[in-house]
Amino acid sequence: MRILYQLLVVLFLMLQGAAGQPFIPGDPCEAQNGRCFPGICRRPYYWVGTCQNGFSCCRKYVEV
């Protein structure tokens, strides 16, 4: 029974990947090393998406 459960989890993750929706637990903005700001992103941050509360997800510039 435990093997069946694990196979269902693997199938679920594969179907999400095939649909183009990666499974990232938690806040997607934090997964991208971003922070949520109201309004637009200001320097030294740039926009990478939208947070769950509607704020802008901003990530800091990193120079190499």
Q: Is the pTM of this model over 0.75?
A: no
pLDDT of residue 23: 56
**CB 9 within 8 Å of CB 32:** no
Is residue 14 helix, strand or coil? helix
- Which pLDDT does position 19 carry in this prediction? 57
Cβ neighbors of 54 (< 8 A, separation 6 or more) are: none
Superfamily per CATH, domain 3-60: Antimicrobial Peptide, Beta-defensin 2; Chain A (3.10.360.10)
Q: Where are the domains of the chain?
A: 3-60
**pLDDT of the residue at 41:** 92
- pLDDT tens by residue, the chain, 64 residues: 788 888 888 877 777 665 565 555 667 788 888 899 999 999 999 999 898 888 999 998 887 7
